[in-house]
């Protein structure tokens, strides 16, 4: 039997409640906040992180306090309170002086999959203290892809003056059996790819320098904005921040889509390096630090792995050690200089990022032993590099 991959994604639907329904929803938010607050205070007082224990302590009390509300709200309030408590505990272990969260106004009501709501692409039916409310919702074109997916859970969200339903959809996909790897090296100005198969290789450079340019320009603007008054600053930052983010995001999505299509077309496993602890482990100067963290590498990797999964391909993360230094021909360790990789032992020369992509691909657990004798690698590196430019 083949392996199944689980795709999970959240989609937002705007609700169109009547005046009367708005009153009901507002009461629900108020009551739910109180439920979560009570659960949270109990959890913190008794230092409980187990759902079972908290449930035992609090269920009856909340049921008798709010008898009109469907009992399942108590369940989800416990879940939400525990998640707030746990993340507070986690944070306060890492750092001192973390303030205990005050639960005053909650803008999220957690609903679970079958007891509190029903969704049919036209309406949300929600269980409340005033019976079942049927609230129409707006379906946008981009939500259409989720038709046929399973509804796993949802949240009712209040934002400014409007109400939203965030639904988590899930789909099962049959995993493909890849016949080779795609080594992916994510850099500031390019994403470099090496398709490596037992008898074949292909090199692709995806130019994302425009996304970097947009970010750089934004950083300059931001530095200027820092000098302005606080109120003006906040407004301007929000404006530029949003615009810049959208443009860069768009470019990264586009690049990731191309990469996922190559994965499917070549039937290969996407392989990337682990980025873990880049921030903590190495300390660079301020300038270098900004440069290192200015391109959202992690996000790019996330998009690539998600989009590949949509085609049925699971990604692999490998340890980045020496991937930019080891010679694909003779195994010597060299320090790349500029864009060029040059081996001081065997004289091999190639683009440094393509060498890295190759090395990342070859670190995959898919290869039992090295698949190529050195000469083959030498020949494969002669194939022409394909170039794709991404515009923001």
Among 11, 54, 309, 327, binds Zn ion (CB under 5 A): 327
DSSP E strands: which ranges in the chain? 4-15, 108-111, 117-119, 123-128, 131-138, 150-159, 162-174, 181-186, 190-197, 200-207, 269-273, 316-318, 340-342, 349-351, 385-389
Number of residues that bind Zn ion (CB under 5 A): 8
> What's phi and psi for 389, nearest 5 deg?
-105, 130
Question: What residues between 270 and 289 interact with Zn ion by CB under 5 A?
Answer: none
Among 184, 208, 343, 354, binds Zn ion (CB under 5 A): 343
How remote is the C-alpha of 391 from its chain's centroid? 22
Name the one residue in this structure whose structure tokens are 């994604």.
Answer: 9
State the Cα–Cα distance between residues 103 and 87, nearest whole angstrom: 14
Name the one residue in this structure whose structure tokens are 């482990």.
Answer: 281
**Residue closer to Zn ion, measured from CB, 225 or 346:** 346
Contacting range for Zn ion; rule: CB under 5 A; set: 15-23, 122-130, 134-142, 348-356: 348-356
196 binds Zn ion (CB under 5 A): no
Structural contact between residues 333 and 322, judged by C-beta atoms closer than 8 angstroms: yes
329 binds Zn ion (CB under 5 A): yes
State the Cα–Cα distance between residues 286 and 301, nearest whole angstrom: 24
332 binds Zn ion (CB under 5 A): yes
**Residue closer to Zn ion, measured from CB, 117 or 348:** 348
Kindly state the smallest distance separating residue 325's Cβ from Zn ion, in Å: 11
SS (H, E, C) 101-153: CCCCCCCEEEECCCCCEEECCCEEEEEECCEEEEEEEECCHHHHHHCCCEEEE
Contacting range for Zn ion; rule: CB under 5 A; set: 58-66, 202-210, 216-224, 339-347: 339-347
Among 7, 237, 346, 388, binds Zn ion (CB under 5 A): 346
Kindly state the smallest distance separating residue 48's Cβ from Zn ion, in Å: 60
Kindly state the smallest distance separating residue 374's Cβ from Zn ion, in Å: 8
348 binds Zn ion (CB under 5 A): yes
**Residue closer to Zn ion, measured from CB, 58 or 343:** 343
Contacts of 41 (CB under 8 A, 6+ apart): none
Kindly state the smallest distance separating residue 331's Cβ from Zn ion, in Å: 7
Contact residues for Zn ion, defined by CB under 5 A: 327, 329-330, 332, 343, 345-346, 348
């Amino acid at each position: 039997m083949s392996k199944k991959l689980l795709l999970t994604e959240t989609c937002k639907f705007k609700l169109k409640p009547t005046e009367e329904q708005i009153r009901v929803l507002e009461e629900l938010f108020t009551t739910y906040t109180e439920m979560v607050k009570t659960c949270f205070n109990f959890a913190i007082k008794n230092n409980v992180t187990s759902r079972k224990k908290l449930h035992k302590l609090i269920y009856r009390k909340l049921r008798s306090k709010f008898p009109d509300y469907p009992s399942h709200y108590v369940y989800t309030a416990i879940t939400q309170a525990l998640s707030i408590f746990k993340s507070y505990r986690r944070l306060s272990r890492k750092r001192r002086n973390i303030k205990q969260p005050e639960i005053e106004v909650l803008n999220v009501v957690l609903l679970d999959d079958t007891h509190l709501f029903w969704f049919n692409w036209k309406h949300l039916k929600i269980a409340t203290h005033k019976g079942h409310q049927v609230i129409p919702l707006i379906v946008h074109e981009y939500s259409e892809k989720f038709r046929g997916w399973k509804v796993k859970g949802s949240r009712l969200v209040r934002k400014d003056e409007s109400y939203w339903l965030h639904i988590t959809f899930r789909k099962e996909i049959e995993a493909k059996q890849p016949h080779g790897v795609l080594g992916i090296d994510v850099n500031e100005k390019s994403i470099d790819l090496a398709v490596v198969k037992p008898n074949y290789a292909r090199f692709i450079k995806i130019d994302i320098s425009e996304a970097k340019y947009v970010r750089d320009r934004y950083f300059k603007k931001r530095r200027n904005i820092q000098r302005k008054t606080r109120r003006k600053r906040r407004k301007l930052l929000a404006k530029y921040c949003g615009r810049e983010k959208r443009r860069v995001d768009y470019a990264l999505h586009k690049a990731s889509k191309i990469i996922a299509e190559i994965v499917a077309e070549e039937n290969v496993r996407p392989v990337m390096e682990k980025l873990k602890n880049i921030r903590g482990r190495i300390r660079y100067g301020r300038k270098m630090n900004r440069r290192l963290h200015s391109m959202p590498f992690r996000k790019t990797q996330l998009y690539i792995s998600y989009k590949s999964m949509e085609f049925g391909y699971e990604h692999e993360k490998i340890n980045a050690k020496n991937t930019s230094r080891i010679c694909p021909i003779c195994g010597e360790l060299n320090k790349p200089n500029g864009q060029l990789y040059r081996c001081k032992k065997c004289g091999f020369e190639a683009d440094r990022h393509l060498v890295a992509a190759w090395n990342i691909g070859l670190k995959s657990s898919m290869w039992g032993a090295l698949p190529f004798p050195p000469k083959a690698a030498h020949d494969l590196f002669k194939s022409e590099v394909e170039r794709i430019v991404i515009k923001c």
